[in-house]
Structure 1
Amino acid sequence: MRVVVIGGGFGGLATAARLAKLGHRVTLLERSDRLGGALSTRAQDGFTWDAGPTTTLLPAVVRDLFRKTGRPLERELELVPVDPVREHRFADGSTLSLAGASRSRQVAAFDALGAGLGEAWASYVEARGDDWELLRRDYLERPWDPALAPRALTARLTGRETLHRTLRRAFGDERLRLVAATPFLLDGHDPRDVPSWAGVVSYLEQRFGAWTAAGGLAALGVALTGRLATRGVEVLTATPALDVVVREGRAVAVATPSGEVDADAVVCAVDPRRLPALAPSVRATVPTVPPAVCHVGLEGDAPDLPAQVVLHGGDRVKEPLLVVRPGGTAPDGAHAWTVLGRGRLAEDPLVALARRGIDVRQRLVTRLDLSPRDLVADWGGSPLGVLWQGRSTVTRRLGPRTPVPGVYAAGAHATPGAGLPYVGLSAALVAQAIGPAG
């Protein structure tokens, strides 16, 4: 069977590799002149920065992808743990270093904020572990079918409980609520619209920790590009998909500026809004807006920071959420940092950073500012997928199947959602739905 995969980001690369290993003839279409999507780098004046994510959870998803498509991951690149997962700096001046893959270290860190807070945090995370076991088998690892799935799972996925409400009940201390909500705040979601079960991310951080690739996560995109070549995938870059061609009620090709590419099946691994055949099916959803990004190159000594520092303003201080991510490559004696901003950015991000105690303005060599609009234009959509709008978002997202026969959906905009682990799982779900070549 000939399968056409639309999109050369992580979701498209992972899906193409899996389907090729299953014996399908796979063609991948990418609108830009390079593969990788957000798994790429940006460069300026001798500095390079990760363009998108810098860490991932659930490394087993990446290991499974490589193992089931050819050589094991360890023969292609090295995954290394990131510890702490991130550092939180609160408006009251307190700080918390969130350890990865360690319940005891997390408890100790929260207890340092206040007596009894460690046990409160541990109890919250333990409850999220119960959610994880409920979700893993019948939602994340195989296509969810409400008619066949356990009633407890369907009730959880479609329940009204929000993350905001759960956190209000679990924690009297605002700082703990902020720590638990941070992964969603960073991605532009309002916890009032996020289902409670999505908080399993706190369990994943404590149980498995955060990871990156030696040299940056862009190396993962490079390794997957090589895997496509090994599996014989036909890759057409600078080839935008205009639409899915449907005849007699089924997808038969993908339209491109240079003609139609025939297909027995099509996988949409981009924002479905870009394809008129799928756009009506996702009209009720909204894409998540990326953050404002400021890549900077610094000379001389720079503050020694962990892989991610989150600077909170708090509920009463309506300041934007700022994130500092040291990393990337730099000339000798220099450093590469990325500053992300969420909320109303009424001033230069480096000025805002200085007001919060991290002043690097005198060490600035170069900077590259990218607005949310710039990022969407560059990537052809938001790599953060669909905005949480309550429990209905679960059923409004496409994937692995879509309402158009012969069309499947993977990637950040598909089930089970955004983030490298979930995007990798979406590729596995599509591979299950399509199955081996006949």
Structure 2
Amino acid sequence: MRVVVIGGGFGGLASAARLAKLGHEVTLLERSQSLGGALSWTAEADYRWDSGPSTTLVPAVVRDLFRKSGRPLERELELVPVEVIREHRFTDGTSVRLPGGSRARQKAAFDALGAGLGAAWTAYVDTLGEEWELLRRDYLERPWDPALARRETRNLLEGRESLLHRLRKALPDPRLRLVAGHPLAMDGHDLRRVPAWLGTVSYLEQKFGAWTVPGGLAQLGEALAHRLQTRRVQVLLGTQAEDLVVRAGRAVAVVTAAGEVDADAVVCAVDPRRLPALRAHVSRTRPLTPGAVCYLGLTGEVPDLPAEVVLHGDVPLVLRTGGTAPPGGTAWTVHGRVPASGDLVAALAGHGLDVRRQVAVRVDRTPAQLLEQWGGSPLGVAWQGRGTVRRRLGPRTPVPGVYAAGAHATPGSGLPFVGLSAALVAQAIGPA
């Protein structure tokens, strides 16, 4: 079967690798001149930073991808756990370092923040384990079919409870609510519209921890690009998919400026709004826009910080300390949703981390620039209540012969979930 994959981000790379291993003739179309999307590098002078994510959860997703598409991950890359997932600093001067992969260590960390808080936190996370198992078996690891799903899973996905409501019930201290809601709030979601079961991210952090590749997670994108070569996937860079050709009610080709690319099946691994044939089917969803990013190359001594620090406040910031730098230098990345006229480095100084005199290299990216660079948002669509589950596409779509993977598809954004979306597409299409 001839399969055309649209998009060279993580979702497209993972889909192409899996489908090629299943025996399909795969062509991947990427509008830019490089693969990886947000899973790539930003470099300036002798400094280099992960352009997008620097860690991932549920490492089994990545390991399964490499095993199901060729050589095991361990023969390509070293995936290592991050001891502290992130440090949260609050406006009252207190802070907590959130360890990963250990219920006991998380309990101890929150008990150090305040008496009884460890028990409150672990009790909250414990309730999410059962929900994760339901989601994993019925929603994440096989294409959704209400007729096959357990009643408990259907009730969970159709439930009206919001994450904000659950956090207010389960966590008496507002600092714990900030920690639990952070992964979704920082992406720009309104926790009043996020289903309560999305709190399972906290369970994943406690159960499996966060993982990275020494030297930068973007190496994962490079390894997948090389995997496509070994699987003989035809990669067409600088080739933007403009629309689908639908005949007799089925997609038969992809339209590009250079002509039509014939297909027996098409995988949309970009924002479906970019394709007129799919746009109407996602009209009730809203894409999330990333915040601004500032990549900093610093000189001299800087504070000794964990891989990620969350600075809570009126303008919350995320500081990531990974990256490569020349001798005597340090690479930092600052993320934030500051006003258009705001300055991330000045905002960082306002949180007590003033490195303005040590900046040797600075690369700023506005939200609009990031969207142009990546060809869309890696954050997927905004949660607008329980209906978002039904309004997202994937793995199948209403157009026969068209499938959806990536951040905008089921089950959503974040490397583990995008990786799962590619696995779902491979299941839906099946072997050649």
TM-score normalized by the length of structure 2: 0.99
Question: After the TM superposition, which of the residue ranges 364-373 and 266-275 deviates more from structure 2?
Answer: 364-373
Q: CA deviation at 1:327?
A: 1.4
Aligned to 2:142: 142
1-side partners of 2:307 and 2:158: how far apart?
35
User: CA shift at 1:342, angstroms?
Assistant: 2.4
Quote the Cα distance in structure 2 between the aligned partners of 1:201 and 1:337. Answer: 25
Q: Distance in 2 between matches of 1:36 and 1:232?
A: 17
By how many angstroms is 1:346 displaced? 5.8
SS in 2 for 1:338: strand
| Aligned residue type for 1:351 | A
CA contact (8 A) 1:320 1:345 kept: no
* Partner residue in 2 for 1:316: none
Match of 1:61 in 2: 61
Partner of 2:420: 425
Check whether the contact 1:384–1:412 (CA below 8 A) recurs between aligned residues.
yes
| Letter paired with 2:163 | L
- Which residue of structure 2 lines up, in the alignment, with residue 41 of structure 1? 41
1:185 and 1:166 map into 2 onto residues whose CA distance is 15
Unaligned 5+ segments in structure 2 are: none
Cα distance in 1 between the residues matched to 2:409 and 2:340: 30
Deviation at 1:148, TM superposition (A): 2.2
- Write the deviation string for residues 293-323 of structure 1: whole angstroms up to 9, x where unpaired: 011110011111100000001xxxxx21101
- The answer to whether structure 1 residue 324 and structure 2 residue 324 are counterparts is no
Matches of 1:368 and 1:379 in 2, distance apart?
Answer: 16
Give the Cα separation in 1 of the matches to 2:338 and 2:156: 30
Tell me the distance in 1 between the aligned counterparts of 2:134 and 2:148: 14
CA distance in 2, matches of 1:52, 1:44: 16
Q: Which deviates more from structure 2 when the two are superposed, residues 350-359 or residues 422-431?
A: 350-359
Deviation at 1:351, TM superposition (A): 1.6
- The equivalent of 1:225 in structure 2 is 225
C-alpha contact 2:251 2:400 (8 A) present in aligned 1: yes
Please give the alpha-carbon distance, in whole angstroms, between the structure 2 residues aligned to 1:88 and 1:348. 21
Report the number of matched residues: 432
2:345 to 336, 350, 372: 350
Equivalent residue number for residue 385 of structure 1:
380
Distance 2:116 2:341 in 1: 38
Query: For the residues of structure 1 that align with 2:253 and 2:80, how far apart are their CA atoms?
Result: 41
Question: Structure 1 residue 133: deviation in Å?
Answer: 0.8
Equivalent residue number for residue 152 of structure 2 = 152
**Separation (CA, whole Å) in 1 of partners of 2:89 and 2:254:** 49
Q: Quick check: 1:206 aligned with 2:206?
A: yes
CA distance in 2, matches of 1:45, 1:222: 21
2 CA distance for matches of 1:345 and 1:164?
Answer: 28
In structure 2, distance between residues paired with 1:417 and 1:347: 30
1:404 to 394, 399, 405: 399
| AA matched with 2:125 | V
Q: Distance in 1 between matches of 2:76 and 2:430?
A: 26
Identify the residue that residue 82 of structure 1 maps to in structure 2.
Answer: 82
Find the aligned partners of 1:253 and 1:394 in 2 and give their Cα distance.
28
Separation in structure 2 between the aligned mates of residue 264 and residue 373 of structure 1, nearest angstrom? 35
What is the rounded CA distance, in whole Å, between the counterparts of 2:350 and 2:258 in structure 1? 53
Deviates more, 1:366-375 or 1:398-407: 366-375
In structure 2, distance between residues paired with 1:153 and 1:243: 35
TM-score, normalised with respect to structure 1 = 0.97
1:325-340 alignment, distance < 5 Å: 325-340=320-335
Q: Is the 8 A contact 1:91 1:312 kept in 2?
A: yes
**SS class of match (1:11):** helix
Write the deviation string for residues 128-150 of structure 1: whole angstroms up to 9, x where unpaired. Answer: 11110110011000011122211
* Match in the other structure for 1:414: 409
Q: Which amino acid aligns with 1:55?
A: T
Aligned mates of 1:114, 1:29 — CA distance in 2: 52
**Secondary structure at 2:349 match in 1:** helix
Q: Report the Cα offset of residue 195 of structure 1.
A: 0.4
Which whole-Å CA distance do the structure 1 matches of 2:31 and 2:71 have between them?
28
Instruction: Find the aligned partners of 1:175 and 1:295 in 2 and give their Cα distance.
Output: 28
C-alpha contact (below 8 Å) 1:416/1:422 kept by paired residues:
yes
The answer to whether the 8 Å contact 2:88/2:95 transfers is: yes
TM-aligned CA deviation for residue 347 of structure 1: 3.5
Q: 2:366 aligned to 353, 362, 371, which one?
A: 371
Root-mean-square deviation over aligned CA pairs = 0.9
Matched, 1:5 2:5: yes
- Assess if the C-alpha contact under 8 Å between 1:80 and 1:212 holds in 2: yes
2:304 matched to 1:304?
Answer: yes
Could you tell me which of 336, 357, 368 is aligned with 1:362?
357
Is 1:292 matched up with 2:292? Answer: yes
Displacement of 1:349 in angstroms is 1.6
Q: Residues 87 and 308 of structure 1 are in contact (CA less than 8 Å); yes or no, is this contact kept in structure 2?
A: yes
Moved more, 5-14 or 187-196: 187-196
Amino acid at match of 1:415: T
